[in-house]
Amino acid sequence: MIRFLSAACVAALAIAGCASTGSGPQEQLAQAPQGGGDVRDANTRAPRSRPPLPRVELTEEVMFKLMLAEVAVQRGQPEIGVPALLDLARETRDPRIAQRATEVAWSARYADAALEAAGLWLQADPGSMRARQVLAALLVSQHKIDEAQAQFEKWLAASKENIGESFLQLSTLLARSGDRKAVLELMRGLAKPYPKVPEARLAVAQAAWNAGDRETALQESSAALKLKPDWELAALFQAQALQQRSNDEAIEFLGQYLGKHPDAKDARLNYARLLVANKRLPEARKQFEVLSEQFPQNPEVTMAIAVLAIQANDYDSAEKQLKRALEAGYGEPDTARVYLGQLNEERKHYDEALKWYSAVEPGEHYLTAQLRYAGVLAKEGRLGEARKHLQKLEAESPQQRVQLTQAEAQILRDANEWQEAFNLLGRALESNADDPDLLYDHAMTAEKLNRVDILEDNLRKVIKLRPDHAHAYNALGYTFADRNQRLPEAHALIEHALKLAPDDAFIMDSMGWVLYRMGRNGEAIDYLQRAYMQRPDAEIAAHLGEVLWINGEQDRARKVWTDALKEHADNDSLQTTIKRFAPVILPAAR
């Protein structure tokens, strides 16, 4: 009886216009106001009166449908609630019920019902900008862009005082459509009557960018900036578009923009980020200093400066900024503590690193901090303590237990305790025989023990469990290629891996290596150069140098090895390769 009375109360409230609003398509509209209650026009922000409401008699049938619908919604039965609310909206033509039907239908992903309900809502309340926005959103979500055009035009026509904001909302809404060329043409048509509205020009630029029309995107964003020269959002878009052509162009543009608008925080952060990416570190450091002076009490800015400093390997500056962020009350202090631990670990300040990792509290970053804590102990030669630290940690899930096992195996491998790592992973597989991560790590450890049979069995099992595991294909192919065995099969495996992950530098390296083994040196050099440019790893440098040397390009090989030694002087693979080919020429490799 109590449940029935509660449902009746909900039904009466719905008729009175007090029903709760659920999550619906209006959430797709950035910056849009909330519906319900004393509605305000979405763009003028001025109060408006509702249209005369239909005279709905609370008959037993109406009450029953309302109660049925609301109880069904509360119980998670949209197949009952949605049709009941839609029937009521058709019958009563009450905009409040139509709005409720729209929200419930969309929340339950009943797209057709939501679209019909939104149409009824707008018919019942033609002056409601909210209803028009929601209807437009639903039409876009169902790829009915042509049908939505009339609604968009009326929306814009009714928002003269806030036309710019409406174009920004439109841009956000239409960005979700899959038919990007159609969206570009639609946005061009909608913006044509408003050539002096900078937001309209930027909306066209965004649509052009999404449609792959880079030149139009640049032209329109430039036009937006001419109309509104201090608009940072347009400047950031312009920089992003220029960056696709050249980092240098984006850097030049942002430098000029900041010369005129020195307080543009986000523009300066992006400027500093681009300088770091182009390895113009002294210039980037100057930008850090400017940002630090301009926003000394802003922990978010301080944290961003710290991350940029880490990327630039400026650990002293990064440490200073991270500590300032903590003192200023940065909202995610454990993130800063993990960074402090990592940069001290990088500088081999192991005691300081341990202090920061141990300061991380239980939560999102706790396991990461504990794994790194154990790694630092191992780097100090305290292998037993490191293993005990990992073993005493309580895993909150089977996946965390796998992570702890992998971490323990890794510190054993780093200590060249290959057999112990192999045994540890083997024991873990006894109770997790189909875990792809354990199988992969066990395979990589087996390779070091020359157990190619186990490596192959494990990797083929990983491939069966996860056909998209590019590194399993790559590892198996590379193992064959490195041993100069089964080269056609190795090539096919690596080729498949490259299709799955075409931008992976290590897979490109493997392709170069198998082509070298097959005597296709020219093709091999091409792959190895691309891999090394993307990731200047020591082993890739060793491979590239060897193929260049064998191909008669000894000077280029020397340069690759010399450059690699500056960063990786202690790498075994690099040292071994250089000793085979140029021990006298590169005495540092002795």
Most confident of 153-162, 183-192, 392-401: 392-401
State how many domains the chain has. Answer: 1
Q: So what's the pLDDT on residue 512?
A: 97
- For residue 29, pLDDT over 70 is answered with no
Contact 538, 529 (CB under 8 A): no
Q: So what's the pLDDT on residue 141?
A: 73
473 lies in some domain:
no
- For residue 503, pLDDT over 60 is answered with yes
Q: So what's the pLDDT on residue 516?
A: 97
- For residue 333, pLDDT over 80 is answered with yes
Q: Which residues contact 242 (CB under 8 A, 6 or more apart)?
A: 218, 249, 250, 253
CATH number of residue 114's parent domain = 1.25.40
Length reported for the chain: 590
* Rounded (10°) CA dihedral 333, 335, 336, 340: 130
Q: Which residues contact 399 (CB under 8 A, 6 or more apart)?
A: none
Q: So what's the pLDDT on residue 139?
A: 76
Q: So what's the pLDDT on residue 196?
A: 92
Instruction: pLDDT band for 26, please (50, 70, 90 cuts).
Output: very low
Q: So what's the pLDDT on residue 58?
A: 61
Instruction: pLDDT band for 538, please (50, 70, 90 cuts).
Output: very high
Instruction: pLDDT band for 72, please (50, 70, 90 cuts).
Output: confident
- Please, which contacts does 115-121 make with residues 24 or more away whose CB atoms are closer than 8 Å? 115/139, 115/142, 116/86, 117/85, 117/86, 117/89, 118/25, 120/89, 120/90, 120/93, 121/89, 121/95
Instruction: For CA atoms 398, 401, 406, 407, give the dihedral sign.
Output: positive
- For residue 13, pLDDT over 90 is answered with no
Instruction: pLDDT band for 127, please (50, 70, 90 cuts).
Output: confident
Q: Which residues contact 313 (CB under 8 A, 6 or more apart)?
A: 281
Most confident of 4-8, 16-20, 182-186: 182-186
Q: So what's the pLDDT on residue 56?
A: 60
- Please, which contacts does 282-289 make with residues 24 or more away whose CB atoms are closer than 8 Å? 284/308, 284/312, 285/309, 285/312, 285/314, 285/317, 288/314, 288/317, 288/321
- For residue 49, pLDDT over 70 is answered with no
Instruction: pLDDT band for 51, please (50, 70, 90 cuts).
Output: low
Ranges 173-182, 256-265, 283-292, 475-484: which has the least confidence: 173-182
Q: So what's the pLDDT on residue 311?
A: 84
Q: So what's the pLDDT on residue 296?
A: 82
Ranges 204-208, 366-370, 480-484, 569-573: which has the least confidence: 569-573
Q: So what's the pLDDT on residue 41?
A: 40
- For residue 402, pLDDT over 90 is answered with yes
Q: So what's the pLDDT on residue 34?
A: 30
Please give the helix or strand (H or E) that residue 62 lies within, else none.
Answer: helix 60-74
261 lies in some domain:
no
* Interior/surface letters 124-157, b for 16+ CB within 10 angstroms, e for the rest: bbeebbbbbbbbbbbbbbeeebeebeebbeebbe
132 lies in some domain:
yes
Burial class (CB in 10 A: 0-12, 13-18, 19+), 98: buried
Q: So what's the pLDDT on residue 1?
A: 27
- For residue 111, pLDDT over 70 is answered with yes
Instruction: pLDDT band for 585, please (50, 70, 90 cuts).
Output: low
- For residue 348, pLDDT over 50 is answered with yes
pLDDT digits (tens, 9 = 90+) for 437-496: 999 999 999 999 999 999 999 999 999 999 999 999 999 999 999 999 999 999 999 999
Query: What is this structure's pTM?
Result: 0.63
Q: What is the mean pLDDT of the chain?
A: 84
Q: Residue 406 carries which DSSP code?
A: H
Contact 35, 130 (CB under 8 A): yes
Q: What percent of the chain has pLDDT over 90?
A: 52
Q: Which residues contact 311 (CB under 8 A, 6 or more apart)?
A: 273, 276
Q: So what's the pLDDT on residue 539?
A: 96
121 lies in some domain:
yes
Mean pLDDT of 404-416: 95
Q: So what's the pLDDT on residue 120?
A: 83
51 lies in some domain:
no
Question: In the 3-class helix/strand/coil scheme, how is 219-282 assigned residue by residue?
Answer: HHHHHHHHHCCCCHHHHHHHHHHHHHHCHHHHHHHHHHHHHHCCCCHHHHHHHHHHHHHCCCHH
Q: So what's the pLDDT on residue 566?
A: 87
Q: Which residue has the higher pLDDT, 19 or 238?
A: 238
- For residue 6, pLDDT over 60 is answered with no
- For residue 48, pLDDT over 80 is answered with no
Q: Residue 362 carries which DSSP code?
A: S
pLDDT digits (tens, 9 = 90+) for 512-531: 999 999 999 999 999 999 99
pLDDT digits (tens, 9 = 90+) for 269-311: 899 889 888 888 888 888 888 888 888 888 988 888 888 888 8
Instruction: pLDDT band for 131, please (50, 70, 90 cuts).
Output: confident
535 lies in some domain:
no
pLDDT digits (tens, 9 = 90+) for 139-170: 777 777 777 777 787 778 777 778 888 888 88
pLDDT digits (tens, 9 = 90+) for 360-386: 999 999 999 999 999 999 999 999 999
Q: Which residue has the higher pLDDT, 441 or 245?
A: 441
- For residue 122, pLDDT over 80 is answered with no
110 lies in some domain:
yes
Instruction: pLDDT band for 233, please (50, 70, 90 cuts).
Output: very high
230 lies in some domain:
no
pLDDT digits (tens, 9 = 90+) for 73-106: 788 887 887 888 888 878 888 888 888 888 888 7
Six token digits for residue 319: 């440490």
Q: Domain range spanning residue 69?
A: 1-26+57-142
